[in-house]
Amino acid sequence: MEIEMELSRVIIQENTEQQIIVLKERYGDRTFPIVIGIMEALAIERRLKGIMPIRPLTHDLLFNVITEMDGQIERIVINDLRDQTFYAQLIISKNGKLLEIDSRPSDAIALGIVNKTPIYVAEHVLDAVC
């Protein structure tokens, strides 16, 4: 089973390379942090604020490639936690098929922010962190 979550906060700390995003259960009270890199944190924050660079950055490029190839990001699923590392999948629909693409949660969220892609977490992952 998967639980719908939403991005609650992006915490950027200039004195470290490790940044934090906080996910909150959409219809509940559980929250948990995920440590991410500075580039992904900045990409997420930029997209949340609606700031578009003059030229596409990496996440913009990938989003453009997916949409130009008639794909649509349907949802993000954080599906595993191994050795304190979160694993995720981008679920992309294309021509009636669903494609499951392995991804880091931070990259998936940076891509999904643009079209408000729903974020889900596998229940066993949520149970392990909350």
Reported for 65-69, long-range contacts at CB under 8 A and 24+ positions apart, including other chains, are 66/92, 66/111, 69/94
- Looking at CATH, the fold of the domain delimited by 2-129 is given as Bifunctional nuclease domain (3.10.690)
Calpha distance 97→99 (Å, rounded) = 6
The dihedral built from the CA positions of residue 104, 69, 39 and 130, taken in this order, carries a sign that is negative
**pLDDT tens profile 89-119:** 999 999 999 999 999 999 999 999 988 999 9
pTM of the model: 0.93
> What is the model's pLDDT at position 85?
96
Can you give the pLDDT at residue 87?
98
Checking if the pLDDT of 16 tops 90, the result is no
Give the residue from 70, 69, 63 showing the smallest Cα distance to 44: 63
* Element containing residue 48 per DSSP (H, E): helix 38-48
- For 57-81, write each residue's pLDDT tens digit: 888 899 999 999 999 999 999 999 9
